[in-house]
Chains A and B, each alone.
Chain A
Amino acid sequence: MKLSLYIFSAIFLSQPVSAQTSSQTEPISFVPFNTLPEQIIPDSFRLTVQGVEQADTELIDRLRSESRAFRRSGIGVSTLGLVEAVAIPSLYSSALVAGAVIVVPLTVAIGVMDERIHDTAENTLKENSLVEMVRQRFPSHLTNNLEADHGSTELRVTVIAYGLSSNPVCLIADAVIQVFDQTGVIYEDFIYIEPFLRSADAPPPYCYSLDAFAKNDGELLMRGLMDYSQIIQAIVKKRTALLPWPD
């Protein structure tokens, strides 16, 4: 059994560094939060939820290109071995041919699996807008309150970024809460759900391997996005509890 440990080590140590999930590499910064001050309590307010319409998929793009390079090198080495076996027959020729027969399909199979993982994760992130999910968490009459006076109070929730981080691989989401009146911004505060930068009232981010995130058609990613939308809504309501929220 211990030998299998070494084999696993050999295989996995050759994987891209950015695919690691180690979470204890740097200290976590907890960012304190502010609640809405008491000075101005409006009779009504309207709510706007906006932000980036698509998740950041940079990590997936990078892992995809690293995986392709890994695959190319595996096939390249095998091809070189085959050419050498044919061109310069030696004692090792049969081993080289046998090796290439094993390595090439194995490399291709690993590549196909990687592609599926990357595609599933990317599609799940692209097809599910966190902004829309957050919007749906609030009462629709607040978000559709277009008839309010021009000068009325506006609560604006902007999703600044969401997607997957690397080292460790975590689902992250950042947002800003702003309250405007006719004079401009009267309150502004941030929500951070990141591995090493977190709002004091936010829970830890979802951190798993990309493989785990993509499993079962991206179930864990979907679950994470749904959780985050609920968490963002709860944080917004708690920090702006002085606004006249409907029961």
Chain B
Amino acid sequence: MAGLRLLIAVSLLFVMLLPGCSTRWQTASEPEPVTYIQPDDALSRTTGKLRRLLLLPAVLTSEDCPDSPSDQLMAEKLYQGTFRYLRDWKGYDLVFTDEKELSKLIEAVDYLGNWQEGEVGDGVQPPNSHMVLIQESAKQLNVDGYIVIHGRLRCLNAMDIALYFMIVGIPNWTKKMAGENLSAGIYEINNGTLVWKQQISAMHPGVNGGGNPDDWAEYLFNGLEQAIPKVLLD
């Protein structure tokens, strides 16, 4: 009986709350890679043409999370998870810049992250001053584009955890963090245009509340096109 009531409640709430957990778009145009010449018989690709990418440091800030790891630690984990996921599962060639250069870029990444979380459409370029700083750094590394990861996070409070347990039936003590406004954007190097974006308002259920940054990385980038395989370029 209790199970049936739960199923009914869940069904009703599911119908009411279905929309609005994540948004993604990718450019309809074909950005031009700068690190290789496209083979004539290559299949049509958009974001996947940008094969060699600079992975900029993830910038995360959190609130209401007294017991959670520091923002910097979370950002580093997300950064490493993104690196592994894009290299091992999407085939991108990722490059980094040195720590000294990175510290100069944090503010620009934060600004760009806030900008990409707003309403931006296809072919839109970010504000010039911040874009130039990142582009200068990226061009030295001979990349096709760069990745910006940005987010504001919130933790689950006691009521959230109790609700989670009541509905899901699994305690969520160890996986407190919920993602809110976590976004990833890919920009092409030629003119700094945003060509792909994924934004998450609440974590996907498949990651059980979003405790593991590796899972965040997978959910953030799962919809990204595969990079053009290296074997087709050599």
Contact = CB atoms under 8 A, between A and B. Distances in A.
Interface of A: 1-13, 20-24, 28, 74, 77-78, 81, 92, 95-96, 98-99, 102-103, 106, 201-204, 206-208, 212, 223, 226-227, 230-231, 234-235, 238
A5 B231 contact: no
Given A5-B178, A227-B43, A21 B206 contact: yes
Interface in B160-185: 160, 163-164, 167-168, 170, 178, 180
Contacts of A106: 11, 15
Given A99-B4, A235-B231, A7 B91 contact: no
Interface of B: 1, 3-5, 7-8, 10-15, 17-18, 20-21, 41, 43, 84-85, 88-91, 154, 156, 160, 163-164, 167-168, 170, 178, 180, 201-206, 208-209, 214-215, 218, 222-223, 226-227, 229-232, 234
Contact of A99 (B8, B13, B91): B8
B170 to A, nearest CB: 8
Contacts of B90: 204
A5 B3 contact: no
A5 B89 contact: no
A5 B206 contact: no
Contact of B208 (A9, A95, A212, A238): A9
Interface class of chain A by DSSP: helix
A9 B164 contact: yes
B1 A92 contact: yes
B163 A3 contact: yes
Contact of A7 (B17, B88, B154, B203): B17
B23 to A, nearest CB: 13
Contact of A9 (B154, B168, B227, B229): B168
A77 B8 CA distance: 11
A223 to B, nearest CB: 7
12 contacts: A2-B160, A5-B21, A8-B204, A9-B168, A24-B218, A77-B7, A81-B4, A96-B4, A203-B226, A204-B89, A230-B41, A230-B232
